[in-house]
Structure 1
Amino acid sequence: MQIQHDAKWIKRLSLLSKQYFKPTFLGAEYIDASVPAMYVGNHTMYGMLDAPMIIDYLYNEHKVAVVSIADHGHFYIPLWRDLYKKFGAIDGTREYVRSAMQQGYSILVFPGGGREVLKRKGEAYQLIWKERYGFLKLAQEFGYDIVPFAALGGDEAYEIGLDATNVVNTKLFQSLLKVPKLAKFLRYGEVIPSLPKSLIPKRLPFYFQFMPSQSLMQIQNIEELQDFREHIQQQIYTALSELKRQRAEEHAEFTQ
């Protein structure tokens, strides 16, 4: 499998976002381009605001050739899938991820996947990781450390107008889910997005916090793996709280 990384394309497409959101990146000391790692964090609403800036920062600022694990649905759409590939993204099958790791690429993982980007009211900055452990098992298999990170800003850039929960709970939609093939195609309602009040995102500062790398080599069983994942999640939640506090302090200083 050939991985695509178009540095100029990545930089060009993320330039507008960087100018608009003025992102702050913290924890650069935890990024080591000489050793492949798995970068694991929260995915913000719609997933189109945070990922390009992270990929651009890692690739163009730190020379980390990171491969982004994307939802299968992106690769069903002509032209759109080509755009994703230019960002170094691959379809998130275990076979493809394993191939990328065999080639020595670092991996960017949002364990919440498509459900986490299709947030509903009351779900801002929630980690919706379900029972996913495959990414950790692959990291352990290839000896990759986990570098957790937190992304702040994306879940506040849009205000939800039509909540997907209201759509999924209608009698009509519930009747559609009774058709097995259709229910599977719609992922039982998970692929239904909430619609924003405006297509133009709010202009607010974004923050990204990278944290120290952590090894899985001491993990011996599924219970320890579960504890490790919970620890990573708690670190992300804590970092998000700290970023909110920092943002509030900076805003207070700016308005004085």
Structure 2
Amino acid sequence: MQVEHDAKWIKRLSALSRMYFTPTFLGAEYIDASKPAMYVGNHTIYGVLDSPVIIDYLYNEHKVAVVSIADHSHFYLPGWRGMVKKFGAVQGIQDYVRTVMQQGYSILVFPGGGREVLKRKGEAYQLIWKQRYGFLKLAQEFNYDIVPFAALGGDEVFELGFDASVIVEHRWFKQLLKIQKLDKLLRHGDVIPSLPKRIIPKRIPFYFQFLPRQSLSHIQSVEDLKRYREALQQDIYTAIEQLKKIRAEQHSTD
């Protein structure tokens, strides 16, 4: 599988977000380009404002050859598909991910996927990972460390005007989902987006915190894997709260 990394394109596109959201990066000491790892974090709403910044930071500033695992929907439109590929993205198909890991690439994964991007009211900074464990099993298979990270700011740039829950929870919509093909197409309602009141995002500073590498060598059973995943989520939640404190302290100083 040929992975594309267009460094100039990545830097050019992320430059807009950098100028607008003035990101702060913490925990750079845990980023090591000499050993591939799996970078795992929270996905913020719509996922297009902070993801380019993270990829640019890892690839252009730390020389980490990172491959982003993208939702299938990104690859439906030819023009958009080409742009996503320039960021080194591949579809979230296990065989594809396994292939790029065999080539020694680091992996950027948001276990919440498309559902975590299409947040609804009251879901800011929630990890919606469902019962996904495949990414951890792949990390085990290739002896990749996990590098957790937390992102703050992205879930606050839009105020939602229309909440997708209005549709998803309506009894008529639930009736439609009883049609198997339609239910599969709409992913049980997960692909229904909430809509912002305004398309121009608020200018809120972004913060990113990378955490120490974590080995999976101690995991021996499915129960161990479940406990680890819960602990990993808690690490990210804790880091988000710490970033909120840092932001509040900086704001009070300013």
**TM-score strictly above 0.5:** yes
2:231 corresponds to: 231
Cα deviation 1:117-157 (Å, max 9, x = unaligned) = 10001100000001100000000000000000000000001
Aligned counterparts of 2:225 and 2:178: Cα–Cα separation in 1: 35
Aligned ranges for residues 58-207 of structure 1 at < 5 Å? 58-207=58-207
Look up the equivalent residue of 1:208 and give its one-letter code: F
1:216 corresponds to: 216
1:25 corresponds to: 25
Aligned counterparts of 1:54 and 1:152: Cα–Cα separation in 2: 12
Aligned counterparts of 1:176 and 1:201: Cα–Cα separation in 2: 33
1:245 corresponds to: 245
Cα distance, 1:188 vs. partner? 1.1
Cα deviation 1:149-173 (Å, max 9, x = unaligned) = 0000000010010000001123442
Aligned counterparts of 1:174 and 1:225: Cα–Cα separation in 2: 33
Aligned counterparts of 2:188 and 2:131: Cα–Cα separation in 1: 16
Other structure's SS at 1:79 match:
helix
Aligned counterparts of 2:183 and 2:225: Cα–Cα separation in 1: 31
Structure 1 runs not aligned, ≥5 long: none
2:14 corresponds to: 14
Number of aligned residue pairs: 254
Aligned counterparts of 1:170 and 1:219: Cα–Cα separation in 2: 42
Look up the equivalent residue of 1:224 and give its one-letter code: D
* Identity percentage of aligned residues: 72
Cα distance, 1:175 vs. partner? 3.0
Cα deviation 1:163-186 (Å, max 9, x = unaligned) = 000011234422321211011100
Cα RMSD for the two superposed structures: 0.7
Aligned counterparts of 2:148 and 2:186: Cα–Cα separation in 1: 30
Other structure's SS at 2:229 match:
helix
Cα distance, 1:50 vs. partner? 1.5
- Structure 1 runs (4+) deviating above 6 angstroms are none
Other structure's SS at 2:151 match:
strand
Cα distance, 1:231 vs. partner? 1.0
2:3 corresponds to: 3
